[in-house]
Amino acid sequence: MVGASEHWNRPSFFAMKYLQDKGYRVIPVNPQAKGEAILGEKVYADLAEIPDRIDMVDIFRRAEAVPAIVDQAIKQGAKVVWMQLGVRHDAAAAKAEAAGLKVVMNRCPKIEYSRLNGELAWSGVNTGIISSKRRKL
C-alpha cells in the first residue's frame, strides 16, 4: 500500500485495517514513516525495497505520483495495480495493462470487498448484486 499513513484517522489506515481483518497481508510504503510499523507491519520507503512477492499495489497517492509507482509495480512482478478513490492516470494504466497487469482506478478495495460480500448493503448502498442464494456469514 503506497501512501499508507501511520495516522489512525486517515483513509489508508481504514483500508489497511479492514483488509488485514479480512485475511490479507498489507505492506505499507511511506518514506516519511520508513522503519516504523503500521498495524504491525514494517514500513518501507519504496516499493523496490520490499523483499516479499507482491500481488497487488494499492496507490494512495496523487495522480502525478502514479507513473513512477506503476513502473516499480511492473518491475516487482505485481499482478494488479489499484488506484484509490479520486486517483486516475490513464497513460500509466495503459502501460501497466500492456505489461499484463490488471488495473483498477478511482475505487477502494475496502468498499469493493464489502460490496461483493454483502457488508456494504448494511449501509444502504446499491451493491448491484441480485441473488436468491443465502449470503455468506
Partner 1 sequence: MAEKPPAPGFETLAIHAGAAPDPVTGARSTPIYQTTAYVFDDVDHAASLFNLQTYGYIYSRLTNPTVSVLEERVATLEGGRGAIAVASGHAAQLLAFFSFMEPGDQFIASNKLYGGSITQFGRSFKKFGWDCVFVDADDPENFRRAITPRCKAIFVESLSNPTGVIVDLERIAEIAHEAGLLFIVDNTMASPFICRPMRWGADLVVHSTTKFLSGHGNAMGGVVVDSGRFDWAQNDKFKSLTEPEPAYHDLRFYETFGDLALTVHGHAVGLRDLGATMAPLNAFLTITGIETLPLRMERHVANAQAVAEHLERHPAVSWVAYAGLPASKYHALARKYLPKGAGSVFTFGVKGGYEAGVALVEAVELFSHLANVGDTRSLIIHPASTTHRQLTTEQQIAAGAGPDVVRLSIGLESIADIIGDLDQGLAKAMRG
Q: Smallest gap, in angstroms, from Cβ of residue 51 to partner 1? A: 29
- Long-range contacts at 34-43 (CB < 8 A, ≥ 24 apart): 36/6, 38/4, 38/5, 38/6, 38/13, 39/13, 43/4, 43/6
Any contact of residue 23 with partner 1 (CB under 8 A)? no
Residue with cell 520508513: 34
CA distance 92 to 122: 35
66-125 positions binding partner 1, by CB under 8 A: 85-86, 106, 108, 111, 114, 118-125
For partner 1 (CB under 8 A), the number of binding residues is 33
Any contact of residue 127 with partner 1 (CB under 8 A)? yes
* Residue 83, strand partner residues: 59
List residues binding partner 1 (CB under 8 A). 8-9, 11, 13-14, 17-18, 21, 85-86, 106, 108, 111, 114, 118-128, 130-137
